[in-house]
Amino acid sequence: MGSAVEEVVESPLNEEKQSELRPSLRALIGDDIRCVFHRDPAARNRLEVMTTYPGVHAVVLYRLAHRLWQWGWRYLPRLISYIGRIWTSIDIHPGAQIGRRFFIDHGAGVVIGETAEVGDDVTLYHGVTLGGVTWNRGKRHPTLEDGVVVGAGAKILGPITIGRQARVGANSVVISSVRAGETVVGIPGKAVQAKQARVADNGDINLDHHLIPDPVAEAVGCLLDRIRQLETEVSRLNASEETLHREEECGSCQAIQLCETAHAETAQGG
């Protein structure tokens, strides 16, 4: 009895069961359209989103092409992907695995490779590349877990993982994995912010792009502070040496008091 249960649990799901558990195209596309209203304040109504948002068009075509890809078709899904690229300037390979409520804002220049994996509630801005770094077959594109936000122009390269609720700053180049909740900026990408919640109180994704720190500016600021400290210390040491030198020169002079008086008058006059 127990072995029979284990056999059922451990064995892969039947294709029929997998198809039953798999969301329908209609449900997936409906989620993709509804999520736009949570992430783009410019969205006004469904008609506008369905007819004027290239990111939505690209995702709808991807959903269709990907379903055909799963059924074993190859040329037709690639043709649909190519048509979508001409239409929207967004290139999504039909073999990529993309979760629910996926939003591409503006969209132009987005490229998603064949072995890329994207979780639920992920947001990409224009110019983002999920690319590979090798010509070998197998996993060669990144994995983005749930809730990731990738800023405009960012490049995420190789079979790396971007953890849940992480953010990638605009124009960053990320070539190593990012832990959940971190913010990454720069070339190559560096983590600059500790883990923190990325979801607003109302359940919407919290972008806060203006709060992303600048590690280069922070490093320059630290160097400037250090230079000020060193200059102050050097000035203090020079003043001490000058006083000591003057005392040594005037130690045997009979007019030492006259010199000190002259120095005091000069300082008051200055």
Give the domain-ending residue among 190, 213, 236: 213
Q: Report the share of the chain in percent with pLDDT over 90.
A: 49
Asked if pLDDT for residue 209 goes beyond 70, the answer is no
pLDDT band of 262, cuts 50, 70, 90: low
Least confident of 90-104, 163-177, 201-215, 229-243: 201-215
**Distance between alpha carbon 254 and the CA centroid of its chain, in Å?**
74
The predicted-structure confidence for 5-62, as pLDDT tens digits, reads as follows 343 333 334 444 444 457 788 888 999 999 999 888 888 899 999 999 999 999 999 9
Number of domains in the chain: 2
Same domain? For 128 and 226 the reply is: no
In this structure, the answer to whether residues 111 and 239 fall within a common structural domain is no
For residue 188, is the peptide bond before it cis, meaning its omega torsion is within 30 degrees of 0?
Answer: yes
Of the three residues 180, 198, 213, the one that is the final residue of a domain is: 213
CATH number for the domain that contains residue 22: 2.160.10.10
| Pairwise pLDDT comparison (196 vs 241), residue with the higher score | 241
Whether 244 shows a pLDDT value over 50: the answer reads yes
- Residue, of 83 and 259, whose pLDDT is higher: 83
Residues spanned by the domain of 237? 219-269
Q: Do 223 and 208 share a domain, yes or no? A: no
Higher pLDDT, 76 or 14: 76
Mean pLDDT, the chain, rounded, equals 80
Residue 72 in tokens: 């074993």
Please say if the pLDDT value at position 203 is more than 80: no
- Residues 178, 265 within the same domain: no
Q: H helices of 2-96, where?
A: 2-10, 15-21, 25-34, 36-39, 46-52, 54-70, 75-88
